[in-house]
Structures are given as structure tokens and as C-alpha cells.
Structure 1
Amino acid sequence: MTIFSSLRRPRLRALVVPLAAALASHAQAGDPQAADFADLSIEELANIQVTSVSKKPEHLQDAPASVFVIGGDDIRQAGARSIPDALRLAPSLHVGQLSSYAYSISARGLNGSSNSAPNKLLVMIDGRSVYAPLFSGVFWDMQDVMLEDVERIEVISGPGGTMWGVNAVNGVINIITRSAQASQGSLAVLHGASDGGDVAFRQGGRRGDARWRVYGKVLTRTHGDTAAGTRVNDAWNQAQVGFRADWQRGGDVFSVNGNAYRGELEQPEPGAVVTGTALRLGDIDTHGANLAGRWERVLAGGGRLAVQAYIDHTRRDVPPAFSESLDIVDVQLQHALPAWGAHSLVWGLNYRHSWDDVANSEVIAFLPARDEQTWASLFAQDEIALRPDLRLTLGARIERNDYTGNELLPTARLAWRVHPRHALWTARSRSVRAPTRLDVDAYVPGRPPYLLRGGPRVRAEVANVFELGYRGQPLAGLSFSATLFHNEYDHLRTQEVDPTRTFITFGSLMEGAATGIEMWGSYQLSGAWRMSAGYTALHENLRLKAGSNDLAGPFNSGKNPEHTLQLRSNYSLDDKRELEVALRKVAALEHPAVPGYWALDARFGWRLRPHLEVSVVGRNLNGGHAEFRSIANRIELGRELGVKLVWQD
């Protein structure tokens, strides 16, 4: 029985509906929560603070990296319903939807290799890494937050290994939620669309010196269809609750937050949409809970000490393939020393331990079924002011994993403030993706006696990255950022046929390069009208090394579009009504072959009362398109219309 079928029971419906109504009626007179980035001028946007580049607050204009910031109001104005929806706002990311709940999200290419999902993009929610140690990727259906409580999402294109560790190869996504103090009062959300609906609430308050909030949300997504109109069984139901509390005592700042969720997802049967068979796989069941705490102290002389720890439990049952129960404990320490002459030094430690228990099947097995892994690292980074307008950043991390031992992740970055409105930067970095259980421990039963055996000699995948960037305001009202990059890869994963030609094993016998440009800008045409645009171009070339027989490996470069384009227009008709129109262009994929497409989205928002906003959102208004997967199980994303109501005090 699904979550939403349970809500159809009269007793539960009688509880949920009055609850939503009570939250809405609780709203009282007063100003709604202030909008964030949408109300800032171009000059103010350049001076917003980001923390993901150097793990300390710095102005976006001064950050020596390719950074795109998605503000909470950007998410609202776009009508995003999920984290992957919100990430479409970042021009530097390629977001491909596979089903109602599955996405392929990557930056700067390497969108998976050897039939693996993208595994070189590190994703964090309030400092908690959400990548899956099973394959170094992200189960996006298990990552959710209340989008109304997101303060910003910092998207870094390029390597972030020095500050964040292995797997931050092609990018870092840092999702930062608002403090409890910034989310006080009541909020209720009701959303209905042609493909499902959402209901959510949040209540914030104060007890003594502490501010707190609690929230709950329930969502449903209906099944998809192919371009031919054949049903694809990929419906999704999920419920989630959580809390956050923040308080301060003297020079100490504390924060604690937790979340718990459960979801049910239908599995599309591979090939069923082509053969027309009624065969179905069992529904996927997911559930999990996490708890994180952070303590920060401002030290004498301007130094800062921070300690963060979290525990994370997840379980994923995928019949008939496998089920996994995973527990993670992570502890981080970071110390920023007071400025010493021209030097500003930060160093830190990170310890992470996992307990992984996989229930194997006749479809796939992980041997051993139960495994423990440890990741331990030490990093340091020094920012040196060579001149008032010239800064050199040198840093390195040493991280140890159970498969390849110690990995060195260095970086050197130079930032030059050519003019108060113009900055140039360049960087040279080395980053690594460490092997996972999928690389080493995976087995596919068959004759004789395995079709696929793990790769005990798999090496860490290495990226050496060169970057050159500009960020500035060429004209009044215009902000612009551009980055040229060149990535050189080595030891990429391959699928090798054993010399006996009886089974396949994983190897590390591919190398290659990726060269490209990413750029975006925003122009304030008037006080009420802002236009923005983004463009990326990418050329990948993968080649096998001597001894490899994986003929399909080099075709992995075809999983990425050679170029993307997006245009966005946000216009405030008055202080109560706004209209956003977005146009996206994504080039064709070669492997699997997916045609290129244009997508036209729009949202009209109207604040009917000080605390009530209604919005109408249309997606793919120009017609349907596919985004990923081979034609055998590819869904068609058709026109979609939705209405959303938001009450808040």
C-alpha cells in the first residue's frame, strides 16, 4: 500500500486536511519573509558571500573558481519542485531526467562510464555528503529538502578535492538551508500538477536563546509515458519530516538538524515498453534518517574553529536485484588561523566510517556482502596576499581510502583584481575519484561461474585540471562570468574481457581529455526586468590504453551534450505579480542516442494577500522531449501544468 493510498482513508484524510487548513489560517498580518537575491542589484550580487570554494566566507567576485549561486528566490521564481529541478538553473550543469524520480546530473562531462551513473560530482546538504559509497554517485530520489527553506545552492564547476576530498572531481554542489532564525513562523504549501502533487508545512519558533523549526512534506509523482504513449511504470510516493535548531552562547554558535524519510518507487521493466509485456519488477522501497550537529567558535585575533559531526542511515530495497543498508559516521574539524602578515591559513581533519550490508541475489552480488570502510584526510590551504590586488592560494589534501591508500589532492590558484569591477583568475588542480564497492566487489552470477567479476586492480581515476576565468561587470547593470577549462584524465574505468573470454572484469585502462567553456551573465534592463543567459561548450576525447579490449569505453563521451544554452527573463509587473519565462537548449547525445531539444518553461506568480501567494507553472510548453536513456525505456517529458499555493506568516 502506498503512502498516498493510505491518505485516501477517511480517518487519515480527516486529520491531514484540517492540519493544512489550520497552518494556512495561522498566518497573521505582517511582512512575509523577505526575498533574497531577487531584490539585489547587479553590484550587490557580485558581493554576495560564498563559502564552498575555500570553506570560509568570501565575496563571489573574489572567489578563484567557477561558481554559480542559485538563491532561494531564484528557486521560487522558477517554480522548482525538487533539488534536480532547482539545479537546472545552473548553466554549468547538465541535468537529464531518466524517470519521475531518477536523474543524471553532471558537470564538464564524464556523465558516467561503463554503464555507471555520474560519479564525479560531490553533493552536500548543509555540509553532509550525500554521495553513495556503493558507486560514488547520488540517489536523487533519496535527497530532498523543503525548497522554501533553502537559502542558496552554491555550484562549483571543476575540481574541489583540496577542500572537500575525493570524488569532487568535476564539481561540488553545496545546498545550504536557512537558519532557524530566518525561518520563523508558519508556512504551508499545496501544489498540484498534471504529474502529481505535493503538500508541505513548516513551523518555526523560539525557546529561550534557541530558534527552531520543524517541517513535513509528502509528494507523489504519477507514471510516465514513452513518445509512443506506452506507459512506463515509474510512479513515486515519498514522505519526509525534519527539524533544525540554532542557538548562541557567548562566542559559541551551535546548530543541530535531522531528517527522516520513506519512499516507494515503481521500477520500469527494461524492454517492457518495447515488447509490450506486462512483466513488472517489484517496487523499490527507500527509507533513511540523519542527524548532524555543528559547533563554531570565533577565536581571539580573528581565528575560527568549527567541528561538525553527523550520522546517516539509509536503506534501499531494489527487488529482485539487491538491498543495501548503509550507516555512516562522519566527523570534521576545521581551524582558520588569525591572519599572519600576508598569510591566511586554514587546515582541517576529516574522519568517515561506513558499515555497508548488501543482501545479494541471483541478479547481482557484492562480495563480501558486509563491509566496513574508512576515509581519513588532512588538508591545509594558505591564501597569500602578494599585493592588495593579487592573491595566491596554495593547498593540498592527503586522503586515505581502503582501496588505493593515500591520494594527494593539491591545488594552486591565482586571483587578480584587475579593476574594482573586473577580476581574472587561473588554477591548476589534481583531483581523484576513489574506487567503490561497485568497482571492486561487484559480481554478476552466470556461467562460468560469473559473467562479471569485480576489479581488484582498479585504480583511482585521476583528473589534472587547468582553468582560466573572468568575472566582472563590463557595463552598468551587466554581470558576466566565463571560464575556460582543460581536463586531462587517466585510469578511467573500463570493462575488460578476461583472456579466457569467460567473464568481464573492471579495469583502469582508459585516458582522455575534455576541453570547454562555460559562461553566464545577468543584465538589469530596468528596476522590474532582469534577463540572464548561460552557455556551455564541451569537447571530450576518450581513448583506450594499451592492453584494453573495452571497445565501448570511448563512446562514453557521447553521454554529454556538446553545447547547452539557457535564457531566462524575470519581470515584475508590480509589487504583487511577476512573470518568469525560461528557454533551454540542449544538444543531442550520441550514446545513447537522444535527440537535442528546446524546452520552454514559464511561471506566473501573484501575491493575492500579504501572506498568500498563488502561482501557475508550465513546463515544456513547446512540446515533449526525452533527456536520457536508450529508446527501450526512455520516458517522454510532455507538457505539464501546475498550480501552487503558499501561505506564510
Structure 2
Amino acid sequence: MSFVNIRRFVATLSVVILSPTSALCADQSELSELDYLNDIPVTFSATRLPQTLSDAPVSITIIDQRMIEASSATTIPELFRLVPGMQSYHIATNASAVAYHGMSDKFPPRMEVMVNGQSIYLPLFSTVSWETLPITIADVERIEVIRGTNTVTQGSNAFLGAINIITHTPLSERADFIRYTQGEFDTQNVQAEHNQKTAYGHYRVATGVLSNDGYDFTYDAQDPYFKRYFSFESTLSPTLLDTISIDLGYSEGYSSVGDIKPSPGWGFKRREFDTNSQHLTWSHLLSNSDELKLSYAHAVNNLSARLLTATEASQLTGLPVNIAQEFLDTNAPLLITAETGKIEQHDVEITLQQHPSYDSKVITGIAFRAEKAKNRQLLGTNEWVSEESSRIFTNWEYSGFTDWTLNTGALLEHVSGSGTRLSPRIAANYQLSPLSTFRTSLSRAYRMPSLLEANFENIIYVPAPYTGAFGEVYEYDFLVNQELSAERLDSIDLGVMINWPEIHSQLDTRIFYEEIKGGITPSYQFLDPAMLSSAPYDPDQLYRTFMNRAHWSNQGIELQYKYQSEGDLKPLFVFNYGYIDSNGYRNDGNQNRSATDVFDRLETRNPMHTASLLASITLPDNLQLSMSHYYLSSVRWQEAVKDTDPPNAPYHRTDLKISKGFRLSPQNELSIALIVQNLLDKPYSEFYAENMFEQRTYLQAQLSF
């Protein structure tokens, strides 16, 4: 679909959608004010200002509590299958990745992920480690997903989109509970939550132990998982004008890193994790509803694995065991996986929200982030590698024009070693009627190189006894590119949102065009450019490095329709669809020691179609029936080798959930749920060809008191 055709489609879509809307407006006198205001969620994620979905400058998907309870998801990443244009996939039994608009491997790098507004993005891997988080799906109140760039609000990590996971607040007076889940892979999960109101405020404590044996692979191997976690949230109000929030989290355990094919004789690469985080926020109300907010966050992630043995190094390199041991000693420490390391992050942010007039509100802020990481195999040193960044941002909403709401904003970001970039956005929402809104926005965004991309270096050194004959370096595997710069995104968004309060429905349609220039990608290079014109090639002269050698565009359409009623049977119906057409290339450099660059076309690196459907009803006696269906078209993930690895085949998957509640007393309730994923038992592969998803069944019991 060309961009010209998309513009034609906008015109056609306006006629088709707005015609019935006009008819609705003719009868709007029959609707009350409550019809317009009922169930209109307010979000802060788009601009940090309180906004309804119709006033926000971007498309937003909200996965609310009813959707979470009705879904068959057992982990947080599985919920994102309910977002148009988003892909959620397993890279191992207990390791997941979430991407928006594809172009991803097992480390999707272009989407910010936050918990209660605080980033959980790991700079050492340019992604999120979902299995290590100190929260589970039982802790989630709702999730707000920004579909489209939101760099202007959350910084360069939000290059293509952003996720904000909002946990249950201590103020919600939620019942205490104990939950037990048993099922596939000998899953044994125990979780508990306690909420308490005190004279000083409210607090919530959640804890749990999760474990399973992992998948039984054909080569007699499994990838087990274990996690214990603890989280604490508290809200204090020492005065009528001040609020203090405290979020603490801790988790520890182990899982495999996602390498589906284990190395011969030594099984999966098990990685242990130990994480802790602290997030403190102070809010102070000023005059005229203005608000000053100060927040500080600190997080530590320790990811470790055992050392590589001489026998294993000998298997990998073909060297005799004694020489392999000398290589290990010279390049120590070498672990069985490079996906380890120590990461520490500090974030400080100050924001001021103001209301200059009744039809205007603005937020300004300044933020500073300091992060450091330690990993010999990825950063080329046993010392800490640090990076600092600072941001100044502002977002302004103005609704003084008749039927128009304007949103403008800009973020100035500076990253040590990567320079300074300005990311602006301008958006206008036109209220076609009290029930429908047309939205358009223009954005330019930059994604700064992550700590890993800016500092990735891996050099294998020769043991001292052999340096005379071979030199000091055995292999330049990966070298730092001092000229690496930021990726750039230019995007255009058009959208139509329609509410039908009399039938409890809402439709949100988004049409987009995105162009990414200077995309960061690994590329093969020669240490000496003269090697390009000489033969034979010296393999020691060939290395990889990150370069700005990818360029592609995305264009397409996304829509989400939601029907939700509190009437008889409490029906819920959600349909999502995303179409994306990608065009472009990445330059792999002098791959396979060739004399010319190799260009990888990117048309197949995105799934062209994604779709999901969730339907739920509640029968008498508190019996709830839910069914989900997911579809993903063919895709060749970034890790697939060009022209040799076949693309992942398209798949359909249907899930079923049946739950029943039993009122034991006015204060106590027991609920039982049966979850069957892939109900029709048609196995399909996710990400790796060997990673088969077959039918999975879970039984869940929860006692609330």
C-alpha cells in the first residue's frame, strides 16, 4: 500500500465512518451528559498531562482490569497480543519479547517500557528483561500503550512507542488474596497480596514464588524457571497539599537466556538474576491546581552465569584443552553466555504542571539519568562503563479554539558521547461531534545509541606464550564505532475516534507513515581498507561494528473496536487489527569476507498482518466464559539469516478461559479458573523454529479476604 493510497483511504474512511456519526448526532438530544462522560478513561502517558483519549495527540490502547481478567494471559507480555500492531513472542519457554512494528530480534530496542512511570529498560541489552521483573500479571491494574513515537514525552527509548504498566494502588482498597496456579511444565506459582490503611496512609505488599520445569525439547533438554519476588507500595499524605509515594521491588531466580539449541553436552545456558529497585515521588499542590513533582529512582540488575570450562571452550574452538584453558585465563572472565552483567541506574526528575487559563495546561520538566554497566564479553573491559543523559521537555495543550484541541511539545536530550538532539511534535484534534474526533500529528524523533551500542567491544587476545608468533590479538570480533550517531524518525499520524455510548462501543482508527533514517545495525568491516582490493583476505582483519546503515519506512493502518457493558451478562468484546507495509534495507557490510557490501531487504522483517479478538460474558452464579483468538502473519525476525533461514509461518491461536466465583462469606470469595492456551492444539513456532507452542493448560485458584 503506497502512501498515496493511504491518503485516499483516509478520505474514504471519513465518509464511511462519519456518515453514521452524523445520524447519531441528529438524535444526540436523547442522550444524557452521563452518556458522554461514562467510561471515558483519563491517561497521563501521552503528554504527562491528564487527558481523555479523544484529546490525546497519539493513539492509545488501554488494557484495563476487565480485559486482564477475561484474557487467557498468564504473564504480562502475553497481554500485548491485545494491542494492534504489536508483537509478543516467546524466545524460550520463560523468556519473552515485545515489539511494536517489528524489525526486531530477541532484544527489541525501540520502545520504552515503564512501571508506574519509571523506566525498566536495560541499557546493557537495549530492551526489557520481562522474566526478572518484581511484579506479575496479578499486580497489574491496567496498561497504557502509546502506539506511535512518544520521544517528546519519555525520551529516546520511546522511539516507536511506549508502555506504562500501572500496578494496583494502595488507595484502591483492594481485597487481600492468595493465588495458586498449577499446570503445564509442572508450573507451581504461589502469589499473595495484602493492602492496609493506617493513620499515616496506605500501603500494599505483594510477594510470590513462580517455578516450572520448562519445555521438553527433542534433544533431551529443558529450560526451567524460578523466581521469587517482593514489592511494596505506599502512599502517604503528611499534609493536604503533599503526597509521597514509595515503590520498592526485589526479585531473584534463574532462567535460560533464550538460546533454543543447547550446546552439545552442556545443555541450556542458565542465567541467574538478582534485581532491586526503589522509586520515590513527592508531589506538592500549588495554587490554581498547579503541581510540582520530584521523583528519584534507583535500580540494580545483576545477571550472572557460570564460567565457561576449558572442555567447552575446546568444543567451540577446536583447540586442545590445555590451550583453550590458556585462552580462558587470558580473556577472563568468559561465561557460558554473554547475556549477563551488572547494571545500575539512577534517575532524577522534576516537573511542573500549570494551568495558565481554563483552556490551557502545560507541563515542563528536567530529568537526569546516570547508568553504568559491567560486562567483559560485551564491553571489552572488566571495569564499569558509564553513560549520562539529561533531558528538558515541555508539553502544552490548548483547547481555546472552537472544536479544536492543540498539543505541542519538544524534548531536548543530551547523551554523553552521542551529542544533543531536539525531538518536537505538533498535533491537532478536531471534534467532529460530541461523539467523534479526528486527530492528526507530525513528529520528528531521535533515538540515541544505547550504552551497549555506543560501547560494544569484544576482542579475543592471544595467551602470552604465543604472542610472538601470532601477535597480541587472536580475533577482533566486535569493535566500538566512535562515529555512531542517533537514529531519526519522521512520522505522520491520522486518526478517527468514535464513541457510541448508547451501544457502549468505541472505535479508534490510526493511519500512519514512519520513515527511519540512520538505523543502527551491526555491519562487517575490515581493519585495513586496503584488504578490500587484495586477496586472499585475512580473517583476522574482519570485524563487526554498529553503524547507521539501515533505512526503512512503515505505512499502514491500525484499528481497535471495544464493546463493554455493565448490563446483563456483562458482555465484553475487543477486536484489534494492524496492517503494516515496510520497505527498506540494512547494509551488512563485507559479510562472509566478500569484496562488496551485502544489502538485506527489510520487507519481510515485519509481520504484515496482526489481529486479536477477545470476547467474554458472565453467566448467572458468577460463571465467566472468555475466548481469545490471535493471528500473526509470516515474518522473518532480524536474527534469521538472509536467504537461508525460512520465515516463521503465519499462525492462528485460540485460547479459552472459564472462571467461577464462590461467595464463602461477606468478606471471603473463592474463584477457580481453567485456562487453555492454543485450544485447538495446532502447534506453531514462535521466533525460533524449534520453539514450538503447543496446547497449554493451567488451573488457578484465588482466595480473596
Q: TM-score range by the shorter chain?
A: 0.7 to 0.9
1:515 is the counterpart of 2:555 = yes
| 1:367–1:559 Cα change, 3 Å | farther
1:49-198 maps to which residues of 2 (within 5 A)? Answer: 49-112=42-105, 117-195=107-185, 196-198=187-189
1:208 is the counterpart of 2:199 = yes
1:607 is the counterpart of 2:661 = yes
In 1, distance between residues paired with 2:631 and 2:268? 34
| 1:552–1:278 Cα change, 3 Å | farther
Q: CA deviation at 1:547?
A: 8.3
1:468 is the counterpart of 2:491 = no
Gaps of 5+ in 2: 1-33, 306-334, 461-472, 532-540, 641-646
In 2, distance between residues paired with 1:45 and 1:143? 34
1:435-454 per-residue CA deviation (whole Å, 9 max, x = no partner) reads: 12332322333565312212
In 2, distance between residues paired with 1:44 and 1:620? 38
Partner residue in 2 for 1:480: 507
| 1:479–1:341 Cα change, 3 Å | closer
Aligned length: 596
1:582-621 per-residue CA deviation (whole Å, 9 max, x = no partner) reads: 1111101134321110000010110022511111111011
SS at the partner of 2:506?
Answer: strand
Which residue identity lines up with residue 636 of structure 1 in the other structure?
M
| Equivalent of 2:355 in 328, 331, 338 | 338
1:621 is the counterpart of 2:621 = no
| 1:565–1:341 Cα change, 3 Å | closer
Q: CA deviation at 1:190?
A: 0.5
1:282-293 maps to which residues of 2 (within 5 A)? Answer: 282-293=269-280
In 2, distance between residues paired with 1:475 and 1:252? 37
| 1:152–1:270 Cα change, 3 Å | closer
SS at the partner of 1:387?
Answer: coil
In 1, distance between residues paired with 2:454 and 2:383? 12
| 1:183–1:552 Cα change, 3 Å | farther
In 1, distance between residues paired with 2:287 and 2:384? 47
In 2, distance between residues paired with 1:531 and 1:484? 23
Between 309-318 and 436-445, report the one with greater CA deviation. 436-445
1:499-536 per-residue CA deviation (whole Å, 9 max, x = no partner) reads: 34522222112212111111010235874223221110
Give the structure with higher Rg (CA).
2
| Equivalent of 1:577 in 593, 609, 623 | 623
In 2, distance between residues paired with 1:42 and 1:569? 23
SS at the partner of 2:574?
Answer: strand
In 2, distance between residues paired with 1:576 and 1:171? 37
Q: CA deviation at 1:624?
A: 4.1
1:353-395 per-residue CA deviation (whole Å, 9 max, x = no partner) reads: 113222x25xx54347411211111001221224142011111
1:211-261 per-residue CA deviation (whole Å, 9 max, x = no partner) reads: 1121211101322245xx445532110000111111222111111010111
TM-score for the superposition, normalised by structure 1: 0.87
Partner residue in 2 for 1:645: 701
1:254 is the counterpart of 2:244 = yes
1:265-295 per-residue CA deviation (whole Å, 9 max, x = no partner) reads: 135666448xxx4332552110111111111
Which residue identity lines up with residue 177 of structure 1 in the other structure?
T
Which residue identity lines up with residue 676 of structure 2 in the other structure?
G
| 1:304–1:535 Cα change, 3 Å | same
In 1, distance between residues paired with 2:232 and 2:178? 15
Partner residue in 2 for 1:350: 367
Q: CA deviation at 1:476?
A: 3.7
1:328 is the counterpart of 2:318 = no
Partner residue in 1 for 2:290: 303
Which residue identity lines up with residue 101 of structure 1 in the other structure?
N
Q: CA deviation at 1:176?
A: 0.8
Partner residue in 2 for 1:242: 231
Conserved 8 A contact 1:268-1:280: no
| 1:533–1:376 Cα change, 3 Å | same
In 2, distance between residues paired with 1:68 and 1:355? 33
1:188-587 maps to which residues of 2 (within 5 A)? Answer: 188-195=178-185, 196-225=187-216, 229-248=218-237, 249-267=239-257, 271-272=261-262, 277-318=264-305, 319-322=335-338, 323-340=340-357, 342-358=359-375, 360-361=376-377, 364-367=378-381, 369-446=383-460, 448-473=474-499, 476-477=502-503, 478-494=505-521, 495-498=523-526, 499=529, 500=531, 502-524=542-564, 527-528=568-569, 529-544=571-586, 554-574=600-620, 576-587=622-633
In 1, distance between residues paired with 2:414 and 2:60? 28
Conserved 8 A contact 1:453-1:504: yes
Between 472-481 and 193-202, report the one with greater CA deviation. 472-481
Which residue identity lines up with residue 651 of structure 2 in the other structure?
Y
In 2, distance between residues paired with 1:589 and 1:531? 28
| 1:546–1:271 Cα change, 3 Å | closer
Q: Which structure has the highest strand share of the two?
A: 1
Q: Which structure has the highest helix share of the two?
A: 2
Q: CA deviation at 1:475?
A: 7.8
| 1:79–1:590 Cα change, 3 Å | closer
SS at the partner of 2:152?
Answer: helix
1:296-323 per-residue CA deviation (whole Å, 9 max, x = no partner) reads: 1222112111111111111111432344
Q: Percent identity?
A: 19
Which residue identity lines up with residue 675 of structure 2 in the other structure?
V
Between 518-527 and 122-131, report the one with greater CA deviation. 518-527
RMSD of aligned Cα (Å): 2.4
Conserved 8 A contact 1:269-1:279: no
1:413-434 per-residue CA deviation (whole Å, 9 max, x = no partner) reads: 1111111110110111112221
Gaps of 5+ in 1: 1-40
In 2, distance between residues paired with 1:252 and 1:627? 52
Q: CA deviation at 1:627?
A: 4.5
Q: CA deviation at 1:333?
A: 1.1
Partner residue in 1 for 2:30: none
Conserved 8 A contact 2:92-2:260: no
In 2, distance between residues paired with 1:589 and 1:414? 35
Which residue identity lines up with residue 373 of structure 2 in the other structure?
D
Partner residue in 1 for 2:18: none
Conserved 8 A contact 1:159-1:169: yes
In 2, distance between residues paired with 1:350 and 1:448? 43
Partner residue in 2 for 1:20: none
Which residue identity lines up with residue 562 of structure 2 in the other structure?
S
1:332-359 per-residue CA deviation (whole Å, 9 max, x = no partner) reads: 111111233643221001111113222x
SS at the partner of 2:485?
Answer: coil
TM-score for the superposition, normalised by structure 2: 0.80
Between 60-69 and 178-187, report the one with greater CA deviation. 178-187
Q: CA deviation at 1:183?
A: 4.3
In 2, distance between residues paired with 1:511 and 1:213? 47
Conserved 8 A contact 1:558-1:590: yes
In 2, distance between residues paired with 1:215 and 1:225? 31
Q: CA deviation at 1:560?
A: 2.4
SS at the partner of 1:163?
Answer: helix
In 2, distance between residues paired with 1:505 and 1:355? 21
